[in-house]
Amino acid sequence: MPALKSIINRSTSHRVVQYSSAPELNLFAAGGAAETASCWANLPQELLREVLVRIEESESSWPPRKNVVACAGVCRSWRHITKDLVKVPELSGKITFPISVKQPGPREQLLQCFIKRCRSTQTYRLYLSLNNALTEDGKFLLAARKCRRPTCTDYIISLDTDDMSKGSNTYAGKLRSNFLGTKFTVFDGQPPHAGAKMTKSYSSRLVNLKQVSPRVPTGNYPVANISYELNVLGSRGPRRMHCIMDAIPAAAIEPGGVAPTQTEFYHHSADFFPSLLFFRSKSNRVERVESFQSGPLSSQREGALVLRNKAPRWHEQLQCWCLNFHGRVTVASVKNFQLVASQENGPAGPEHENIILQFGKVGKDLFTMDYRYPISAFQAFAICLSSFDTKIACE
């Protein structure tokens, strides 16, 4: 098996984005004729599937999981089988392709990540944790840059740590706050579900300038609204949060429930995909498949999932309000929170006690972020970014 992986890496080095733990990566182009004539495309389908199944099962974590993506870049037949074998994070608990950051997290456990803050540049980077220890060793996923404006604050979220502009091919979405920093709106750069409505703005027009497919409009689609209320516990307790997930139905958290799942990026060019690996198709464009695995919500807010922060408990010995982060948070901070399903979604059941997102401080500029189904890494990251803003009206 190691010999086979070595051959695969050599045969695809000229057409696949190679893995690196740093944000900078090199891209090597390839001609379509080379892919068509590739000897690897002529392997018997049964043998090819068996080989890819073993590689997918053996390379379950990063950085070895780069070999799975390398297989998807060999040729079209390899790509189709690999994409069929690699399950979405909801089922596998793994992040593999770039679109994974827009797909719901695992149902059975929290997916552990962490955020690094750079005060001097006002940037934030999201990483996938590679082990259970609270270390800075991780796989880069997303980056955000804070942009102050006269009446609001924007956090531009990108797949590239070096290119965080709204008109970039790597634009993923943004978070916008009101003047007081008490209300936030999360915008996705592409439709979160069939029938989603785009917000008309100047930034939407910038993104549309680089649109790849005219059939899938790109821009700013509101997917969540976050509000912070007066903290009745003072500085000793967490802020009171209320999140309306416009793109996720409340029924998603019930047994058998389904959350909208994006399956491809459409407004991004295949010419540059940083950090998370990607591959080219023969026509030098991203191959088209069905955009969504689930239909639209009947109304953007009707029946939308509502999240609230979990209430803390008074600790007699410490004489303070506490939350149990199970060792994932080590520094007390007003920014720390845990989100669960609100009772507004219907009669309380066991699913309402599951922590959907938790965020907390472990160092001066290091924070953990753990999330699960039905929200995605992108949505979780945007919600956590809202916690960094100073909220004078709430404290």
* pLDDT tens digits, 50-96: 999 999 999 888 989 999 988 888 888 888 999 899 999 999 999 99
Give the least confident one: 13-17, 208-212, 251-255, 348-352. 13-17
Could you count the other beta carbons within 10 Å of the beta carbon of residue 198?
18
Q: Which of 120-129, 160-169, 354-363 has the lowest mean pLDDT?
A: 160-169
**pLDDT at 231 > cutoff 50:** yes
Mean pLDDT, rounded, for 135-157:
90
Contact (Cβ atoms closer than 8 angstroms) between residue 69 and residue 227: no
Position 29 scores a pLDDT of: 39
The pLDDT score that the predictor gives to residue 395 is: 52
Non-local (6+) Cβ contacts of 320 within 8 A are: 236, 314, 332
Q: What is the pTM assigned to this prediction? A: 0.79
Q: How much is the average pLDDT of 332-336? A: 86
**Contact residues for 379 (Cβ-Cβ < 8 A; gap 6+):** 186, 223, 224, 245
Residue among 186, 126, 119 nearest 155 (CA): 186
Mean pLDDT, the chain, rounded, equals 76
Let me know if 159 is exposed, middle or buried by CB neighbors in 10 A (0-12, 13-18, 19+): buried
Q: Is 251 exposed, middle or buried (0-12, 13-18, 19+ CB in 10 A)?
A: middle
**pLDDT exceeds cutoff 60 at 232:** no
Q: Which of 139-143, 275-279, 309-313 has the lowest mean pLDDT?
A: 275-279
Q: What CATH architecture is 101-196+218-255+301-387?
A: Alpha-Beta Barrel (3.20)
The per-residue pLDDT for 6 is 55
Does residue 316 have a pLDDT over 70? yes
Domain positions in the chain are 41-86, 101-196+218-255+301-387
